[in-house]
């Protein structure tokens, strides 16, 4: 089940991680509707353009859904509602299913509760790591993904206005960009985001090297616990993260009214 909650982790820690993930993905375009956090960024990241049911509220579900739907209609965006083990009300997924909202994007939040024993690996001599700013990173990862300009601009805007600090790194091999990624740090929690390897460089251990670089830097800034979000069916990425000591902590999915949006 996509919205499972693992008993292997402290539930208080997982609730903190869920809040940290919400803070790290906060776009300028958001508002509250009866206890639900409604985000409507035009960017690629679905977590920045969805409803997060963080509190139960007082309105009937049908009325609240209609108010949220209007926000997305007004902004020309498809409606997505993110369902987690922390969503309110707890019966939300079943109620949305009964109303015909289809389920997409089974996603796992993976956690490494202790970072101080993480083994560091030096980069090979033909590779180098470079820190980059928000605009440069958004353009770099957008180019690697083939994202349109509007999504790249929305990504850069979200990073520039983020309530938490982001730090990005680009890996080059013989001068060519082969991977990039960034992390958000909040207290002793660090979240890995937008880790992306160029298609021609995959299967060579580069993503693992990049993640170790990011986590090593975060440890120097006080991070002690790491988390990340990855699609449940992205088995190659999940294998990399398992080898780095991450485990599935909880899952979430989205519900949508749109017949084809993904």
Q: Give the C-alpha separation, 193 to 213, whole Å.
A: 13
- Among the listed ranges 4-13, 75-84, 115-124, 232-241, which one has the minimum average pLDDT value? 115-124
Task: Dump pLDDT digits (tens) for 165-189.
Answer: 999 999 999 999 999 999 999 999 9
Phi/psi at 249 (nearest 5 deg)? Answer: -105, -45
Residue labelled with tokens 């485990």 = 247
- Encode pLDDT of 90-109 as tens digits: 899 999 999 999 999 999 99
Q: What is the pLDDT of residue 261?
A: 75
Place of tokens 């919400």: 22
pLDDT digits (tens, 9 = 90+) for 17-51: 999 999 999 999 999 999 999 999 998 889 999 99
Query: Beta strands 247-256 and 102-112: pairing type?
Result: antiparallel
Distances (CA, A) of 86 to 7, 53, 108, 184, 245: 14, 8, 14, 21, 24
Tens digit of each residue's pLDDT (9 = 90 or more) over 109-157: 999 999 988 887 889 999 999 999 999 999 999 999 999 999 999 999 9
pTM of the model: 0.93
Which residues, 6 or more positions from 122, have their beta carbon under 8 angstroms from its beta carbon?
none
How far is Cα 217 from Cα 188, in angstroms, rounded to an integer?
13
Query: What domains sit in the chain, N to C, each tagged with a CATH number?
Result: 11-108+252-256 (no CATH), 127-250 (3.40.630.30)
CB atoms within 10 A of CB 123: 16
Residue ranges of the alpha helices (H) in 2-91?
11-24, 61-74
Q: Do 111 and 225 contact (CB within 8 A), yes or no?
A: yes
């Amino acid at each position: 089940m996509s919205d499972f909650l693992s008993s292997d982790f402290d539930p208080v820690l997982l609730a903190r991680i869920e809040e940290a993930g919400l803070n790290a993905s906060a776009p300028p375009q958001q508002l509250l509707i009866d206890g639900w956090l409604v985000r409507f960024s035009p960017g690629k990241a679905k977590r920045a353009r969805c409803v997060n049911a963080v509190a139960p509220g007082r309105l009937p579900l049908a009325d609240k859904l209609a108010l949220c739907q209007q926000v997305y209609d007004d902004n020309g965006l498809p409606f997505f509602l993110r369902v987690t083990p922390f969503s309110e009300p707890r019966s939300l997924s079943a109620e949305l299913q009964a109303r015909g909202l289809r389920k997409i994007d089974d996603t796992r939040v993976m956690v490494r509760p202790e970072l101080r024993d993480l083994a560091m690996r030096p980069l090979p001599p033909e590779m180098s790591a470079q820190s980059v700013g928000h605009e440069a990173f958004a353009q770099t990862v957008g180019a690697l993904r083939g994202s349109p300009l509007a999504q790249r601009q929305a990504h850069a805007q979200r990073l520039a206005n983020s309530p938490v600090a982001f730090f990005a790194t680009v890996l080059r091999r013989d001068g060519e960009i082969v991977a990039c990624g960034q992390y958000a740090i909040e207290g002793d929690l660090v979240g890995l985001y937008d880790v992306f390897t160029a298609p021609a460089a995959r299967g060579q251990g580069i993503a693992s090297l990049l993640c170790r670089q990011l986590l090593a830097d975060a440890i120097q800034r006080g991070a002690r616990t790491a988390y990340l979000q990855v699609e449940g069916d992205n088995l190659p990425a999940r294998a990399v993260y398992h080898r780095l000591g991450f485990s599935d902590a909880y899952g979430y999915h989205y519900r949508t009214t749109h017949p084809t949006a993904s």
